Structure 1
Amino acid sequence: MKGKRWMKKRYFIHAMNRDWVFGENDGRTLFIMAKVRIDSSSYVKVRGYNSPFDPAPREYWPKRERKARIQRVESHILF
């Protein structure tokens, strides 16, 4: 069985300040996004008792959509 060093040398490269990036040094690189690399603040959590299938919290969903729309617009403003 071949070791970790051989596997790294054979299949992985160093790219974008990251080690163990799957790819070759021919310009084609496949980045595998790890779960920890996705920012959780970009996803708004839904309160447990508010379901999109429940018609009772009528004010929650429009308020949430307005807030998300404002955040999208603000994120595209360049200073």
Structure 2
Amino acid sequence: MAEVGVRGDERWLFVGSGGNPPHGNTIYYWWAKTIAAAGIQPFKLHDCRHFFASGLIAAGCDVVTVQRALGTTPPPSR
């Protein structure tokens, strides 16, 4: 990110038309094309998210840290 930077008020790393994140269909298209070009067994992009979360848990990160790393917000405390 230090080399590429982020864009817009929301600080998106990947930007589609109108300065918003790319549409899901666009992401799927480029992901499928990349997988095919790499010549590897197809898998979902979302599987990378699970792999990342599992690695954080295996490294001893607590649930809140994992949630924040994934860009999700923990539920409010009661």
Give your verdict on TM over 0.5: no
Which has a greater percent of helix?
Answer: 2
What TM-score, normalized by structure 2, do the two folds share?
0.24
Structure with the bigger percentage of strand = 1
